[in-house]
Amino acid sequence: MAHISMTVLENNHIRVLPWPAMSPDLSLIEHLWDELGRRIRNSQNTPETLAQLRTALFGEWNNIPQDFIRRLIDSMRRRCQAVINARGGHTRHRHKRIDRRVRTVWVRDWIGRRSQFGFYAQLLDELRCEDTVSFKNFLRVDPTMFQEIVNRLTPRLQKKDTWYRKALPVGLKVAITLRYLATGDSYHSLMYLFRVPHNTISNLVVQVCEAIISEYAEDVINTHLRKKLNG
């Protein structure tokens, strides 16, 4: 196939760039290309122009059995593994180590019991109902203001549940962010208090702050203008 293609390209004065030597042949299309070349070489009429080559390729492509293509697809995993093994197999084992490390973070039992024993689901609810002074002392806003913030930010922050985990409630995100802004607690300290991973907290604090700025920017500007006008 390569010889036929080169002949056609040279006859049409098309420049061909060299392919790097020793390149790993892991592309499925390369093997299909070889099969097409064999079929065209065995045909009665050898293409002499680009148009004839194109017509021959399309014709032989339609005649390739689907079982042959399926076998090539199934062989790709074996070919990739052979390349990895030839390089020492380090990539495969490194991926396994990374996967194990990630999974150990996802299955921490005490974080999974957030809804039963987390601060937001337990004590904060009690403070909201029984001790609004302590609620405000903890988050620096009273329960009414807290709920208003949650309601206004919900369209910006609400995420959908996935098949492997439930989305964090917007109220929880707001509570964590307000506590962080009020005290400057470390993400690790907030992790143990709210039972939310510290890397998740580092992301949601930024998201909530951006949502607050976007949602309340106009209110702040209008209030400032009114004070200017009334002053």
Residue 153 and residue 158: Cα distance in Å, rounded?
A: 8
> How many Cβ atoms sit within 10 Å of the Cβ of residue 32?
15
Per-residue pLDDT of 171-219, as tens digits, reads 999 999 999 999 999 999 999 999 999 999 999 999 999 999 989 888 7
DSSP one-letter code for 49 = S
3-state secondary structure of 163: coil
Give the whole-angstrom CA distance, residue 137 versus residue 120. Answer: 15
This prediction's pTM: 0.53
Running DSSP on this structure, what letter comes out for residue 12? Answer: T
CA 144/CA 121 separation, integer angstroms: 17
Q: What is the mean pLDDT of the chain?
A: 77
Region 25-49: what's the mean pLDDT?
Answer: 71
pLDDT of residue 174: 96
Res. 87: pLDDT tops 60 = no
How far is it, in rounded angstroms, from Cα 127 to Cα 135? 5
Residue 190 Cα distances to 58, 67, 146, angstroms: 63, 57, 18
Q: What is the pLDDT of residues 51-70, one digit of tens each?
A: 887 788 778 777 877 777 77
- Distance of CA 118 to CAs 93, 114, 122, 124, 195, Å? 37, 4, 6, 9, 6
> Does residue 20 have a pLDDT over 50?
no
CB 27 within 8 A of CB 80: no
Q: Give me the pLDDT at residue 29, please.
A: 59
DSSP label of 160: -
pLDDT(163) > 70? yes
Residue found under tokens 């973070």:
105
- Residue 45 pLDDT greater than 90, yes or no: no
Give the residue extent of every domain in the chain.
2-104, 110-230
| Start-to-end Cα distance in the chain | 86
Taking residues 84-89, report their average pLDDT.
Answer: 56
Distance CA 178, CA 139 (A): 6
In terms of average pLDDT, the best of 28-42, 115-129, 137-151 is 137-151
Q: What DSSP character marks residue 44?
A: S
